[in-house]
Structures are given as C-alpha cells and as structure tokens.
Amino acid sequence: MRGLREFNFDGLVGPTHNYAGLSRGNLASARHVGKVSNPRAAALQGLEKMRLLMRLGVGQAVLPPAPRPDVATLRRLGFGGSDADVLANAARGDGHLLRVTSSASAMWTANAATVVPSPDSGDGRAHFTVANLSTMFHRSLEATTTHAVLRAIFADEAHFAVHQALPGTTQLSDEGAANHTRLATEQGTVHLFGWGKLGFDAEEPAARFPRRQTLEASTAVARLSGLSDALFLPWQQSPVGIDAGGFHTDVLAVGNESFLMLHEHAFVHHRDLLAVLREKLGPTFRAVLATESELSAADAVACYPFNSQLVTLPGGSMAVIAPSEAFESEPTRRFFDRVVAEDNPVAGVHYVDVNASMCNGGGPACLRLRVALTDEECHAIGARVFLDEPGCDALAAWITKHYRDRLSGDDLADPALLVETRTALDDLTTLLALGSPYDFQKP
C-alpha cells in the first residue's frame, strides 16, 4: 500500500429500504421478509458507521443510492401510463415485480465493482469494473446506474478507467469486490478472486444455493484491469460454505494488506491456498483460520464476523469493524479474542450497530467499496464524496429531511414515495457535486 491510501466508499441506504427477501441463499434476507422497515433509521445507522471510520483516521467517502422504484424497468416490462399508473399496475397480484424494482440493494457497495489500484494495473491507472450481478434480477438492475455514478466521481481518464459491466449472462456472473481481496506485503501483491462455479460447465452440480461468481467473470475482470498472471490468484469458494449461506467470499473471509482472516469453509483446499499466499507474500503475511469446531459456518453466517471491515489505522495497526450481532455471540467473541491475542496486526475490535442492513443480509463489509488512491488521484476527484464532520452532518440533515421512518411493502406503490425519492436524490447529487448521473435527471 506504499504511496496509497485506502478509502471506504460506503453506500448510503436508500429511501426505499425494505425487507422483500429477494436473494435466494441469503439467509438473513429470507428470515426478515415482510418486516416493516425504517429507512431513516437505517440510513443514519450506516452514516454512524462512516463517522466511526472517519474518527479512527480511516479514509471515508460515500456513494449515493440508486433511484427506486425503477419505473424505467417496469415500463420495459410492459407497464404503461403515468408513473402512478405504472406503480399501481405493477402492485396488482402478488406485486413481486414492484418489490424487485424497489429494492435498495445498491447500498451494499461491496458488490458495486471490482477495484484494482493504479500500481497493480497494466496502464498505471486505477481500474473499476462494474459488477453485472446477473444472478439476482433485482441486483442486475444496479449496473447502469453504478457505472454512471462511478464515471461521475472518477471522471479523469488520465487517472481512472471505469469499465462497464460484463455481459449479463449466467456464464459471466460477476459479484464485484465481495469476491475479491487484495493482499500486499513488501515481498509481493496478490489479488485473490473467489469464484463459485465454472460458467461454461454444461453440468452444473446440484446445490442448495446458487454459486454466483464464475471463474470466467473473475478472469475477465482481471484482464480488463491489466492484472499480470503473477498478481492474479483465482481460488474456488467452498461449496460447503456457500450452502451454509456464505454466498460471497466476504461472508466467510476478509483480508487487508498482510493479513487474512478466514473460515475453513471459505475456500476449497484452504491449507493449500494459505501455502500459496505465504510463498507469494513472504514471512510477514499472517492468517487466522477459524475451524468448524471453533466457530461453525452457521454461526459465522448468522453473526457475520468475516463480513466485518478490516482496516489499517494511522499508526500501522489494524482494527476489525464488526456488527454488534458478533459481540452477542459467545463463539464469535471468543474467536475475536484469539485474533487480537495472536501475532498479527489486529489491535482491537469495534462493534457497530448496522442491524437494518444485517436483517437484509449485509454486514459492515457489504456496505463499503474499498478504493486505494494516491494523493494525485484524490486531487483529481472533483465530486464532494470524501467525508469530514461537516459533511456527515449535512448528510444526516439530508436523511432526516427526506426519508420516511416507516415503510411497508404496500407503500412501494405510493406515487408520493417516487416523488420523495427523486427529490431527495436531486438534492443529494447537488450536495455531492455529482452533476446529473441519474436517468430521471436528464431532459
């Protein structure tokens, strides 16, 4: 990371935050389906986590929500008339298409893109490849807006390359940074890409839950980013871990610089993986492995200790930013006690309340996209996305002004909600100096 500073680009929870249970394989999402949500409280929770990171001295930035309900997609699906007519017609029957097109899932920006910093890329620019998220329909709707937003922020093509999502096919299903970890020491750098299936395998094995990331997608992202073979390390996710609810790599593993924390069911042949990493990264690389007997995969999926953020503090030590649910679990607490006690860079664990996100299956790590930038690259960004205390206060005021404190599934058909959301995002793009990245803002 020499010459680089890492920023966590957190996604703001959107005004339509609700519990629709849309993601098969995401156990928390399924458990809380139909629950009435509080979008205002959810967004403020996420903002408080950002404040904590900022106060710890970690680089913190923000990404805006996607416009929802997605009326344009509903029109493509055959619903016509005024916007109010479209919402009313989509709500008829079981209303599933309205719920799908109203999801606030873009808040989980770990799925927004895969990021390769400039020292590792083929052309000396920072590369962003937008994730197509093609396994889940509601998430696949994010890619176009994500590309527009990232292009608005990382607009200087002398420093940044923002790639469109891969073709949205089953064979090239790409889940973004949730399946990507950059590890680096003085000896070397490795980009570890977790993948769940071979995209062009004609006989996909029977499985409890979908394998979302394909090897072919990971390889294409590495190719677009100009990663050399020496830096690119694809490794298969454990089918046992996926079927336990570890649908992304970051549900059962998290890494940062010289340190990797993982469950034995995160990857197949995990001991071979650790041996390869030690060979490539050298003696300063450290790893902590949780076995099934110490911390079951079921507990890890329920409490998300590995979907925590692992960040470097200004003094050089590391901290884990974990969900409060992990503190409430005795096996998880004991595991973290061992992590802090062992010979590795982790000095402490900070527990945060992101329950609104956790109820939909996203922990602290899901809420952020890691972006490592040089000082020159930071200065090339004109948007006001880097946070300080006044910026956090302004966002809190914006949330309080525009967000509802109660939202049920029936409320998604309310035409006033669509107007409220568009008004809020209009104000936000002005606040963040993003221009007009949304389709509804265009004449």
DSSP β-ladder status, 232-236 and 189-195: parallel
CB 398 within 8 A of CB 427: yes
Query: Which among 366, 377, 392, 402 is annotated as catalytic?
Result: 366
**Distance between start and end Cα atoms, the chain:** 43
32 is catalytic: no
Closest alpha carbon to 414 in 21, 77, 102, 167: 102
Tell me the C-alpha distance between 182 and 369, whole Å.
12
Tell me the C-alpha distance between 150 and 114, whole Å.
12
Biggest CA–CA distance in the chain, Å, is 65
Give residue 341's identity as a one-letter amino acid code.
A
175 is catalytic: yes
Give the SS3 label for residue 184. Answer: strand
Give the SS3 label for residue 37. Answer: strand
Tell me the C-alpha distance between 358 and 405, whole Å.
18
Angle between helices 415-431 and 389-402 (to 10 degrees): 160
Closest alpha carbon to 266 in 248, 285, 293: 248
| Residue 143: alpha-carbon gap to chain centroid | 13
| Residue 137: alpha-carbon gap to chain centroid | 17
Burial class of residue 156 in the structure, from the number of CB atoms within 10 Å of its CB (0-12 exposed, 13-18 middle, 19+ buried): middle
Query: Which among 17, 138, 191, 248 is annotated as catalytic?
Result: 248
Query: Which among 175, 257, 264, 377 is annotated as catalytic?
Result: 175
The residues, ordered by sequence, that sit 6+ positions from 283 with a Cβ below 8 Å of its Cβ are: 187
The residues, ordered by sequence, that sit 6+ positions from 357 with a Cβ below 8 Å of its Cβ are: 13, 42, 45, 46, 107, 108, 363, 366, 367
269 is catalytic: no
Active site residues: 175, 248, 366
